Structure 1
């Protein structure tokens, strides 16, 4: 599996992957449609949001974004193709995110997590620090998590 920078031309395909991955959790079509705008990648943000894809044999398996500036960033999106959930793609993307964040001088990464993904992030070392309002569904609260980034020399 290769982790590489995403290309702006992949924005539509990555957005579609995000929606498929979100739907994996059993949300209905109306809920997924409510999330569409928030899960749509802007080609102009691919570079600034440090979007990276996991790829195998030319097929994109997942992607992650790291927004913000040191010392605190935000894991904006981490989505994995439903057919490969459980194969370690998310773990590899988190490893990439951590390494990149450490190299850039980030100390903390916040995550507005889907409740179904919270156990994954906790297993990756994040801690729950509160809740945050959903950007897609009024009145819905999401777990707010913080991942501390070790310094390169620690």
Structure 2
């Protein structure tokens, strides 16, 4: 498994991957439809959002984005194919984001986490710093997490 920059031509594929990944947590079709706009990747946003994919044998197994400008960024999206959950895709992508953020001069990044993904991010070293409104579901709040980059 390797991480590489995403290609603009993969935007539609990444959007569908994000929706499959979100569905993994048991969300219904109505919920997923409400999230579609927020989870849509546009070809012209792939580069500016610093989108990276985890790939194995030519198959994209997950992707992530590192957004914003130093010193504080945002882990905007991180999703894995449902059949790849538990295979280290998330750990690989998170490690890549940390390396890239450090290389680019970030001191920290925030994560608006799905409640089901919060334990993963906490295990990676993020801490909960509050809550943030969902961009898709009125009245729903998401855990707001922060990951501080250690100097090296």
TM range, normalised to the smaller chain? over 0.9
Give the TM-score of the pair, scaled to structure 1. Answer: 0.98
C-alpha displacement at 1:130, in angstroms? Answer: 0.1
Provide the TM-score with structure 2 as the length reference.
Answer: 0.99
What's the CA shift for 1:122? Answer: 0.2
- Paired residue total: 152
2:21 is aligned to 21
Q: CA RMSD in A?
A: 0.5
Q: Specify the SS of the correspondent of 1:90.
A: helix
Alignment of 1:46-57 (within 5 A): 46-57=46-57
1-structure distance, mates of 2:129, 2:67: 19
Structure 2: which 5+ residue stretches go unaligned? none
Secondary structure, counterpart of 2:38 in structure 1: coil
Q: Deviations over 1:23-49 (max 9, x none)?
A: 000001000000000000111110011
Secondary structure of 2:73's partner? Answer: strand
Matched, 1:32 2:7: no
Task: Please tell me whether residue 136 in structure 1 is matched to residue 136 in structure 2.
Answer: yes
Q: What is residue 82 of structure 2 aligned with on the other side?
A: 82
2: CA distance, partners of 1:109 / 1:150: 12
Matches of 1:134 and 1:98 in 2, distance apart?
24
